[in-house]
Structure 1
Amino acid sequence: MHRGDDIIAAGSGACGHPSGGPTDRLLDAAEDCLRDRGQSGTTMEDIAGRAGVSRATVYRYFSNRESVVSGFILRATERYLRRIAPRIAEHADLGPASVDFVEETVRAAHREPIIGVLFGSANDLAGVGLAEGTSVALFDLVAEFLRPVFKEWWGSIRVGGVS
């Protein structure tokens, strides 16, 4: 398997739901509501209405508004990592791959508000209202993304630099 395929596979399904399923449709509706009304102005009823389902259906997938926001952030992160994976896989060396990853992530943080929230201040992220355990899930998602990168270059890394 090519390094890029490993990296892309690492992000596949990391959020625990199939793409295009009911969870994705609810998160799409939540994204619209959050964009239009902001986090404090978005209710579970708003999300249900936008998705064309009952509130009970929303609650079947998400226990509260914070878990919807967390799901939205995890999905956005997963999608971002899947988009950038082929670009990172093009590099023959870890150094340039790392620099490219950081530079592209900074650019994405300016373009995409949700990515910007992840890399903003701790107060910005705390103000979003995430469900408990979201930080761990984000860490797991990024670790899963990076695992094949480290596996690929592990043998060429020595203390103090890249050999």
Structure 2
Amino acid sequence: MPTSRARRNWGDDRALLNDEEARDRLLDAAERCVARRGDTQIRMSEVADAANVVRSTVYRYYPSRDDLLLGLVLRRVDRACTRWIRELRRPQDAAASIRELVLLPAASVDSGDPVNLALYAGESTGLATVLEAGAQSVTEIVAGNLKPLFKAWKDEGQIYPDLDLNETVQWMSATSSFLLTPTWRHRSPAAKRRFVDRYLLRALIR
């Protein structure tokens, strides 16, 4: 049976972990804590216990709870964006794809995923600060995934030639966030689609 010290170093199957795997394990633990609590008011000691490490290990990779939550959000954004772009129904159609990529993030919050529900729970008051601090990183992740399609749409003349990829992603993200405000979050999918078509697509699609 492994000793307590071994368990606190991710078991005795391996002496060392690389930094990327260590961060992933800590983020996995943070997700479990967020889902269990139902909000983002987690403590670093909770995450350490869930990851079976000492608290100083968490602080080594994430100096504060905000850093840890931002890491969690960025990983989820990257994974979700990669999946959504891969599963676009009509990737060659700029209007349809942009609409889908704006509406999907808004719909995913109420999809039943416990982590998404916790991140946007009323008690998760610190998330806005985390998202503000990480806005540029979120933009870079989404833009990196969208870049090939964005170039194709521009080359084909579907979107305006002077559009900047990062700025376009920021407008798309801002629209998704707006649809998650109390005024819009529980409106019908049809109403949200009309809003995107009227106030976003008209500015992007030629």
- TM norm. shorter chain > 0.5: yes
What is the aligned partner in structure 1 of residue 36 from structure 2? 36
Work out the CA distance in 1 between the residues paired with 2:28 and 2:133. 22
User: Is this contact kept in 2: 1:47–1:58, CA < 8 A?
Assistant: yes
User: Match of 1:88, SS?
Assistant: coil
In structure 2, what residue type is equivalent to 1:152?
A: A
What is the aligned partner in structure 2 of residue 106 from structure 1? 106
Task: Classify 1:46/1:113 alpha carbon distance in 2 versus 1 (closer, same or farther; 3 Å).
Answer: closer
Larger Rg: 2
Unaligned runs of 5+ in 1: 1-16
Identity %: 28
User: Match of 2:87, SS?
Assistant: helix
Task: Classify 1:116/1:90 alpha carbon distance in 2 versus 1 (closer, same or farther; 3 Å).
Answer: farther
Task: Classify 1:113/1:148 alpha carbon distance in 2 versus 1 (closer, same or farther; 3 Å).
Answer: farther
In structure 2, what residue type is equivalent to 1:127?
A: G
User: Is this contact kept in 1: 2:85–2:146, CA < 8 A?
Assistant: no
User: Is this contact kept in 2: 1:77–1:115, CA < 8 A?
Assistant: no
Task: Classify 1:133/1:52 alpha carbon distance in 2 versus 1 (closer, same or farther; 3 Å).
Answer: same
Unaligned runs of 5+ in 2: 1-18, 161-201
User: Is this contact kept in 1: 2:31–2:115, CA < 8 A?
Assistant: no
* Higher helix residue share: 1
Work out the CA distance in 1 between the residues paired with 2:46 and 2:68. 12
1:127 aligns with 2:126: yes
What is the CA-CA distance between 1:91 and the residue it aligns to?
A: 2.6
Q: CA RMSD in A?
A: 2.9
What is the CA-CA distance between 1:138 and the residue it aligns to?
A: 0.9
What is the aligned partner in structure 2 of residue 91 from structure 1? 91
User: Match of 2:109, SS?
Assistant: helix
Alignment of 1:53-64 (within 5 A): 53-64=53-64
User: Is this contact kept in 2: 1:76–1:114, CA < 8 A?
Assistant: no
In structure 1, what residue type is equivalent to 2:136?
A: V
Work out the CA distance in 1 between the residues paired with 2:59 and 2:97. 41
User: Is this contact kept in 1: 2:26–2:58, CA < 8 A?
Assistant: yes
What is the CA-CA distance between 1:25 and the residue it aligns to?
A: 0.7
